[in-house]
């Protein structure tokens, strides 16, 4: 872990130095590309404002993640227990993926307004399919031997589902959630771009409009940091929950 | 076990096909009550299919025949199953794995009985461990304790020792024979030496059908270097190569 962090810091330091050098050597104006030192200075100057907007985006992401996970996992369970639902819903789910979710953002804003609702809906929609599809795959691929054993033990279907199939599918769900952690902030920010008065997406647009590119970059870094922290936390939780699958 | 008098004799008669392909036909196999019956044969002849039929598991084919038991209880209630893979759930510790049956049926979990069986199979120090912390032999011991916990009169064992090293396999054969005493056991195996050690009766299932080679002699379990066991083993080898 420490080694990984050290490597990351080293690569980041090199990249930032190259960036600063390029800006200075080419003389590109700061309203086109500010150097990292200028971005850092903007980040400090506007720290409070960036913090407030980050909190808004984080709230949208967390609520969207929670609802998307509940809905995605619920759909997978429903698909596994009901053949009728599989016939009816699976083609629909696949078809829904042919519609670019970004294109729905204006519609969601129209229907749900400029508040958090439309951003949460956008986040939910963007993570729903990865969560549902990975968990469903995991539930369908329970090792046959486990199911045979349950059958010879006269297990009820619901207990087989919740005591065997669901735990066996947790590593797949964890993969889906890791993807969701990366996609969720994208969903929220796209929602904010279409129409919002708060959030990092809004702040980026605002800074861009006022040619404060250093602030825009600072907001972008805040978004990246939020995504990395979220991904790391979900990754750690997933590993903790499925520690048994390591070495099995 | 709930009443030793309930230990059944089982008779399986009939044929089995996968689509148009006949796996076996005209079969007549008896599992004597309270004895070990080994079903020996090369891979792919349908040994495991036959065992899965008795266990009530999906076989992907069509069985045309009957499975008669000498007692009146439904077969499904009498059967415990042990496979080549230990099938221990990796997210549960040994104790929870041993109690899996009662968990899956929603019954009260008998902790003391589980611990007693775990002790009996020599895993007393490992009850809290997860399967990935155990060796192959220890995992199969845990699977044996789980099978015993089911307390069923009819045991169906599908090559449960075949993935173990020779020494562990020999120890497991002795342990299983001891703890499954007086139950009706069907053991599917492709290993003549295993059948020679452990079986009261041996059926040989080959491409030409079901045969019953002579394994009469001292009752099992026979020592691995017992001349009688070695003699039976060589006869089984010869029968397999015919």
Q: pLDDT tens digits for A89-131?
A: 888 888 888 888 888 999 999 999 999 999 999 999 999 999 9
A167 and B106 in contact by Cβ < 8 A? Answer: no
ipTM of the shown complex: 0.89
At a CB cut-off of 8 Å and minimum separation 6, what does B97 contact?
B88, B89, B131, B142, B146
CB-CB contact of B26 with B208 (8 Å) = no
Interchain contact, A152 vs B132, CB within 8 Å = no
Chain A residues in contact with B132 by the CB 8 A cut-off are: 244, 246-248
**Contact assignment for A153 to B100 by CB distance below 8 Å:** yes
Number of other CB atoms surrounding residue A238 within 10 Å: 19
**Contact partners, residue B35, CB within 8 Å, separation at least 6:** B184, B185, B200, B201
Q: Got the DSSP string for B26-90?
A: EEEEEE-TTSEEEEE--TTSSHHHHHHHHHT---SSEEEEEEEESSSS-GGGTEEEE-SS----T
**What percentage of residues in chain A have a pLDDT greater than 90?**
84
Superfamily of domain A37-243: MetI-like (1.10.3720.10)
Q: Cα separation of B102 and B96, whole Å?
A: 10
Question: Measured in whole angstroms, how far is the alpha carbon of residue A189 from the centre of its chain?
Answer: 11
The answer to whether residues A230 and A186 touch, using CB atoms and an 8 Å cutoff, is no
Contacts of B83 in chain A (CB under 8 A): 145, 148-149
pTM score? 0.87
pLDDT band, very low/low/confident/very high, at B1 (cuts 50, 70, 90): low
Nearest CA in chain A to B107: A155
pLDDT greater than 70 at residue A171: yes
What homologous superfamily is domain B4-78+152-241 in, according to CATH?
P-loop containing nucleotide triphosphate hydrolases (3.40.50.300)
Residue B23: pLDDT above 50? yes
In the predicted structure, residue A43 carries a pLDDT above the cut 60: yes
Of A36-45, B3-12, B65-74, the poorest mean pLDDT is in: B3-12
pLDDT in tens, A54-67: 999 999 999 999 99
Q: Is the pLDDT of residue A225 over 50?
A: yes
pLDDT at residue A246 in the model: 58
Chain A residues with CB under 8 Å of B159 CB are none
Residue B177 pLDDT level (bands cut at 50, 70, 90): very high
Partner-chain residue, chosen from B130, B150, B156, that has the shortest CB–CB distance to A153? B150
* Residue in the structure block whose two tokens are 């002849």: B45
CB A149 to CB B87 under 8 A? Answer: yes
Scanning the structure block, which residue is given the tokens 């001891």? Answer: B178
Interface of A with B in 141-170 (CB under 8 A): 143, 145-146, 148-156, 159-160, 163-164, 167-168, 170
**Is B4's pLDDT higher than 50?**
no
Please check the confidence at residue B3 and state whether its pLDDT lies above 50. no
Is residue A248 over pLDDT 70?
no
């Amino acid at each position: 872990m420490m080694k990984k962090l050290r490597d990351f810091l080293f690569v980041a330091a090199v990249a930032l130095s190259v960036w600063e050098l390029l800006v200075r050597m080419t003389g590109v104006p700061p309203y086109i590309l500010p150097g990292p030192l200028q971005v850092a200075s903007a980040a400090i100057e506007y720290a409070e404002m960036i913090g407030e907007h980050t909190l808004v985006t984080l709230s949208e992401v967390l609520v969207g993640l929670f609802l998307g996970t509940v809905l995605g996992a619920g759909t997978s369970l429903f698909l596994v227990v009901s053949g009728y639902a599989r016939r009816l819903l699976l083609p629909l789910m696949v078809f829904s993926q042919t519609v670019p979710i970004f294109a729905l953002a204006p519609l969601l804003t129209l229907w749900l307004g400029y508040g958090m609702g439309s951003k949460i809906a956008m986040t939910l929609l963007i993570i729903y399919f990865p969560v549902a599809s990975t968990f469903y795959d995991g539930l369908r691929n329970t090792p046959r031997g486990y199911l045979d054993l349950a059958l010879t033990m006269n297990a009820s279907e619901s207990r087989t589902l919740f005591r065997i199939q669901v735990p066996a599918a947790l590593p797949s769900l964890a993969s889906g959630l890791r993807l969701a952690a990366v996609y969720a902030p994208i969903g929220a920010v796209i929602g904010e771009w279409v129409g919002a008065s708060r959030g990092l997406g809004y702040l980026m647009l605002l800074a861009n409009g006022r040619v404060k590119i250093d602030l825009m970059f600072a907001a972008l870094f805040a978004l990246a940091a939020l995504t990395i922290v979220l991904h790391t936390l979900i990754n750690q939780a997933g590993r903790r929950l499925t520690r048994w699958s390591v070495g099995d | 076990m709930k009443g030793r008098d309930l230990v059944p004799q089982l008779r399986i008669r009939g044929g089995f096909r996968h689509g148009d392909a006949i796996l076996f036909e005209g079969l007549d196999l008896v599992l004597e009550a309270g004895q070990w019956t080994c079903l020996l044969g090369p891979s792919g002849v349908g040994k495991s299919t036959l065992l899965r039929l008795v266990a009530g598991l999906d076989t992907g084919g069509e069985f045309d025949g009957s499975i008669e038991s000498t007692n009146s209880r439904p077969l499904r209630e009498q059967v415990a199953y042990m496979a080549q893979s230990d099938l221990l759930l990796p997210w549960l510790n040994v104790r929870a794995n041993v109690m899996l049956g009662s968990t899956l049926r929603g019954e009260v979990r008998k902790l003391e009985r589980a611990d007693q069986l775990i002790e009996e199979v020599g895993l007393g120090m490992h009850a809290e461990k997860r399967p990935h912390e155990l060796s192959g032999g220890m995992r199969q011991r845990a699977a044996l304790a789980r099978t015993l916990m089911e307390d069923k009169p009819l045991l169906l064992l599908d090559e449960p020792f075949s993935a173990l090293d020779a020494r562990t396999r020999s120890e497991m054969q002795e342990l299983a024979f001891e703890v499954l005493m007086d139950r009706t056991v069907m053991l599917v195996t492709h290993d003549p030496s295993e059948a020679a050690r452990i079986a009261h009766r041996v059926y040989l299932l080959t491409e030409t059908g079901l045969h019953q080679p002579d394994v009469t002699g001292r009752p099992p379990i026979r020592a691995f270097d017992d001349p009688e066991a070695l003699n039976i083993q060589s006869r089984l080898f010869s029968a397999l190569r015919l």
